[in-house]
Chains A and B, each alone.
Chain A
Amino acid sequence: GENVEQHPSTLSVQEGDSAVIKCTYSDSASNYFPWYKQELGKRPQLIIDIRSNVGEKKDQRIAVTLNKTAKHFSLHITETQPEDSAVYFCAAKTAAGNKLTFGGGTRVLVKP
């Protein structure tokens, strides 16, 4: 089955700096890659996603890049703010299984 690795597990940045989180996946059939932000005790919230036919997608301060050949994708957050502090998860989904496989998560702390 699919295996998703995520790095780093923790990330501390100064407010205003950029944060980058990287994920790799194993199943070349995966075609959908969402990123979620989860606050303590809450459900994951979709912040951005990318399909396998696209290499990059941007939404204001958040961008995601995908390298299908290398089977890795990354989340970029620019101009970080304290409210960006949370746990971020990458995930991968295949069209056939329709189930999400999550990375291990990255705890992001933005220091004011």
Chain B
Amino acid sequence: GAVVSQHPSWVICKSGTSVKIECRSLDFQATTMFWYRQFPKQSLMLMATSNEGSKATYEQGVEKDKFLINHASLTLSTLTVTSAHPEDSSFYICSASRQVKETAFGSGTRLTVV
């Protein structure tokens, strides 16, 4: 089945710094990847759709200048949280689909901003 790798699995950073999270499709090419944020005891909320070779599509209410997405190759999408603040602390998960049915999730990144 489709495999998606995500790194790092956890990161602690200081307020005001930036953090980059990587999402890789290991055994297939993904023209589209998705980034979700999940707060404790809540659902996965789609932040943006990452499109290879073009600009990401952001969901309503998500600041594109704060959450920078780059999808420079068919196997790699990155999410950079810029000028992080404590309220950005969350669980970030990426996903990619090889076919309609086959959605693979990364293992998630626990971000803590102190």
Contacts and interface: CB of A to CB of B under 8 A. Distances in A.
A44 interface: yes
A95 B32 CA distance: 13
11 contacts: A32-B101, A34-B103, A41-B108, A41-B110, A43-B93, A43-B106, A46-B103, A49-B101, A93-B103, A99-B46, A99-B49
Nearest to B6: A43
Interface of B: 32, 34, 41-46, 49, 91, 93, 95, 97, 100-101, 103, 105-108, 110
Contacts of A105: 42-43
**Chain B interface, >50% SS class:** strand
Given A41-B110, A42-B107, A43-B107, A102 B100 contact: no
A99 B34 contact: yes
Interface residues of A, number: 22
B32 A41 contact: no
A78 interface: no
A101 to B, nearest CB: 7
A98 B100 contact: yes
Contacts of A32: 100-101
A107 B103 CA distance: 22
Contacts of B44: 44, 89, 102
Contacts of B95: 100
Contacts of B103: 34, 46, 93, 100
A103 B110 CA distance: 21
Nearest to B94: A43
Contact of B46 (A43, A95, A101): A101
